Amino acid sequence: MKILLLGGTGEARRLAAELLPDHDVISSLAGRTRDARLPVGALHHGGFGGVEGLSSWLVDHGIQTVIDATHPFAAMMTAHAAAACSALDLPLLVLRRPGWQQQPGDTWHWTSDSAAAAALLPALLAGGRVFLTIGRQGLAAFAHTGLWTLARCVDPPDPVPTWCELILDRGPYEPAAELELLRTRRIDVLVTKNSGGDMTSAKLAAARELSIPVVLIERPPLPAGVAVARTTGEVRAWLTG
Ligand code: NAP
């Protein structure tokens, strides 16, 4: 089967390797991450040009099925894939890893987006120290909290913010290192997206151990009616079923 695999995640890379022996797979990346980890097999780099561009691309390349294995917060790409597949009557499956689940000892505060998370901070801590692990896109919402802030991103934001300290790093992160980071930087609150998965979850265990509250940004909703798999195994089963 000829498949477009929308990527940008570890699962997408794993899935490309798993599907390649049996299918004709083209993976696609937005192309904005420097030194991105690349999947095996054929690759499309960069956007498609909205729903219209994606629809034309799918027809031109004879794609029979689309697997959307983008990050849970890549809502625009997911919406475009749903709209294009619906218009062309193409099968679409979204691979979505489960979100993180609160555990005993966690103090979690749920918010809808970066702006809501930033608005919550003054009520949670007076003059405390914030650790943002939300990527670079939502950072600007925190510029005016007046709180000392450490932000961790894979690539530097453009422009580089002057109102926070920046760590450039990418997972997977180890529990002992996350604990050390929260301790040495004297972090009082952690802000994160509910990305799910193992690669970046160690910070949650570290926050639990240090009794640090966590502000979690909820995932954007999926388009109505799309089929969803939670694992690469479920995707393979869906393709053969
Ligand atoms: P987005 O807001 O949903 O998408 C913005 C635009 O980028 C899309 O309309 C599309 O451009 C292009 N695009 C996004 N993903 C693409 C893909 N896999 N292949 C080709 N074009 C793509 O996406 P985003 O949140 O900026 O994320 C961009 C990429 O980074 C995604 O692949 C995602 O999996 C990965 N990522 C995102 C996050 C996050 O927190 N958002 C975290 C880790 C990894 P056109 O309209 O021109 O087609």
pLDDT value of residue 127: 82
Same structural domain, 200 and 180: yes
Is 138 part of any domain? Answer: yes
Same structural domain, 142 and 67: no
Same structural domain, 89 and 167: no
Is 156 part of any domain? Answer: yes
Same structural domain, 77 and 157: no
Query: What residue's CA is closest to ligand 1, atom 12?
Result: 47
195 C-alpha vs ligand 1 centroid, how far in Å? 14
For the chain, list residues with pLDDT below 70: none
- Its pTM stands at 0.96
Is 174 part of any domain? Answer: yes
pLDDT value of residue 126: 76
Same structural domain, 193 and 236: no
Cα separation values, 191 from 121, 123, 203, 229, Å: 9, 14, 10, 27
58 C-alpha vs ligand 1 centroid, how far in Å? 17
Same structural domain, 49 and 150: no
Is 60 part of any domain? Answer: yes
Same structural domain, 71 and 148: no
Same structural domain, 74 and 16: yes
Cis peptide before 172, with omega less than 30 degrees from 0?
yes
Is 134 part of any domain? Answer: yes
Bridging pattern class, strands 92-95 and 108-111 = unpaired
215 C-alpha vs ligand 1 centroid, how far in Å? 23
pLDDT value of residue 34: 87
- The minimum-distance atom of ligand 1 relative to the CA of 70 is 34
239 C-alpha vs ligand 1 centroid, how far in Å? 24
> Which has the closest alpha carbon to 142: 108, 124, 106, 203?
124
31 C-alpha vs ligand 1 centroid, how far in Å? 8
Query: What residue's CA is closest to ligand 1, atom 16?
Result: 30
Same structural domain, 91 and 28: yes
Is 230 part of any domain? Answer: yes
pLDDT value of residue 211: 96
Tokens at 234, concatenated: 């479920």
125 C-alpha vs ligand 1 centroid, how far in Å? 33
79 C-alpha vs ligand 1 centroid, how far in Å? 11
Kindly list the protein residues whose Cβ atom lies closer than 6 A to any atom of ligand 1: 6-9, 28-30, 47-50, 53-54, 70-71, 73-77, 80, 135
Q: Indicate the number of domains in the chain.
A: 2
The edge-to-edge listing of strands for the beta sheet with 92-95 is 42-45, 24-29, 2-6, 65-68, 92-95, 227-229
- The minimum-distance atom of ligand 1 relative to the CA of 134 is 40
Tokens at 228, concatenated: 């969803």
Which CATH number goes with the domain that contains 225? 3.40.50.720
Query: What residue's CA is closest to ligand 1, atom 25?
Result: 74
Same structural domain, 86 and 165: no
Is 34 part of any domain? Answer: yes
Tokens at 213, concatenated: 């509250």
Pocket test of ligand 1: the residue of 77, 152, 218 to mutate, having most ligand atoms within 8 Å of its CB, is 77
| Full residue range of the structural domain in which residue 135 is found | 108-217
Same structural domain, 213 and 113: yes
Same structural domain, 65 and 127: no
- The minimum-distance atom of ligand 1 relative to the CA of 50 is 46
Is 103 part of any domain? Answer: no
